[in-house]
Homo-oligomer: A and B are copies of this chain.
Amino acid sequence: MRESELSAGETPTSSEFALIERIIMRLGESAARDILVPPGDDSAVWVPGGGAVVATIDSMTEGTHWRPHLSSMTDVGWRAVATSVSDLAAMGATPEVLLVAAVLGPAVTLNDMDAFIDGMAEACRAHNVHVAGGDIVRGRATAFSITALGSARLDRAQRAIVMRRDAAHSGDAVAVSGTPGAAGAGFRALERHLTGLPADEVIAALLRPHARIDLGFNAVNLGVPCAIDISDGLVQDVRHIAERSAVGIEIDLDALPINQSAIALFGLDTARDLALAAGDDYELILTGRQQIIEALEGVTIIGRVLDQHPGEVVVRQRDGAPYPLPTGWDQLRAWPLAQH
């Protein structure tokens, strides 16, 4: 069946090959033509830029990771790319290639697929990555799995030069990029049907996150040993570092860069709690020697690594008292996620 026989709005009942051709056409320059073995071949062949391959896989499912009434399929496509690529950015790797597996539920239309592909293509352009292959199957519910492949350089001992979660050391400074809490504020704004500025700004932070590829690349080149991206929430993701590195981490409440739009919408207290716990920002948390961290652009130092209380994170108020960590936000994020 030829592409012309597919019409918008139909459930995609046409052959897999016709759909793949349609997707490749629609991806445009975001299809990795140079490395793509012709559509229909079994596998993509790719020569990575560095000596090491950095690889990650992530899945998104309807209801759990997106709610059809809150985000368009274009947003879902963007987010699928950006959040996968963010895992590579957090290691300081350079994302290059994506493989996309789509499980299409019974209600998926060609319009949905087109919108998803458009969002993916936009995010591919914004993050300088290309789709090199994929798979499309039918299932009972819609889900997408994206594998992001990137490259990292090797050191003289042939070990990949990457940032890891287990590489924080006592005395390191802890920094964060951007203004966490924006995405959490965006979720609140969406749920309350807020529109216009500043709501649109935080909604964009939620629906159209940008992976911090350049920051990760600069950080690894400067010798920053440890980073993570904020998906689960700042404190939770700092805790991942504390646990894996067997260190304690102290965050200064007043040092947190709070999103101004979040403050304008929901007040300082809520905006701060969103910054600490809401997640989905895909900013980077980095730890390293103070002078190296200070050389990085676009980050704010928010705390320090301690040799006491391994695995623990404490947020300090100005008077030194621990700030009671907000609860509740992470119910949106914690695994297992609710079935909507």
* Copies of this polypeptide in the complex: 2
A143-B103 CB under 8 A given contacts A43-B55, A138-B336: yes
A273 within 8 A of B: no
- A11-19, A71-79, A253-261 - the one binding chain B: A11-19
Q: Does A64 contact B (CB under 8 A)?
A: yes
Chain B residues, Cβ within 8 Å of A100: 57
List chain B residues, Cβ under 8 A from A57. 99-101, 133-135, 145, 147
Report if A188 contacts B (CB, 8 A).
no
In the complex, what residues of B have CB within 8 A of residue A45's CB?
Answer: 52-55, 91, 152, 160, 162
Inside 8 A of A22's CB, which chain B residues have their CB? Answer: none
Contact B61 A147 (CB under 8 A): no
Quick one: CB contact mask for A135-157 with B, threshold 8 Å, 1 for yes?
11111110101011110101000
Contact A139 B145 (CB under 8 A): no
- Residues of B near A16 (CB, < 8 A) are 335-336
A93 interface hit (Cβ, 8 Å): yes
Chain A interface size band reads: 35 or more
Nearest CB of B to A203, in Å: 23
A63 contacts which chain B residues (CB < 8 A)? 139-140
**Please, which residues of chain B bring their CB within 8 A of the CB of A136?**
335
Task: Give the distance to chain B from A103, nearest Cβ to Cβ, in Å.
Answer: 5
Residues of B within 8 A of A200 (CB): none
Distance between Cα atoms of A46 and B12 in the complex (Å): 37
Contact A149 B55 (CB under 8 A): yes
In Å, the complex CA distance between A141 and B339 comes to: 11
Alpha-carbon separation in the docked complex, A122 to B60 (Å) = 28
A331 part of interface (Cβ distance < 8 Å): no
Partner of A47, one of B52, B61, B93: B52
A65 neighbours in B (Cβ, 8 Å)? 137
Interface residue ranges of A66-120 to B (CB < 8 Å): 87-88, 90-91, 93, 97, 99-103, 105-106
Q: Are B335 and A42 in contact (CB under 8 A)?
A: no
B47 engages A160 (CB within 8 Å): yes
Chain B residues within 8 Å of A252, by CB = none
Contact of A93 among B43, B61, B334 (CB under 8 A): B43
B59, A103: Cβ atoms closer than 8 Å: yes
**Hey, which chain B residues are within 8 Å of A133, CB to CB?**
55-57
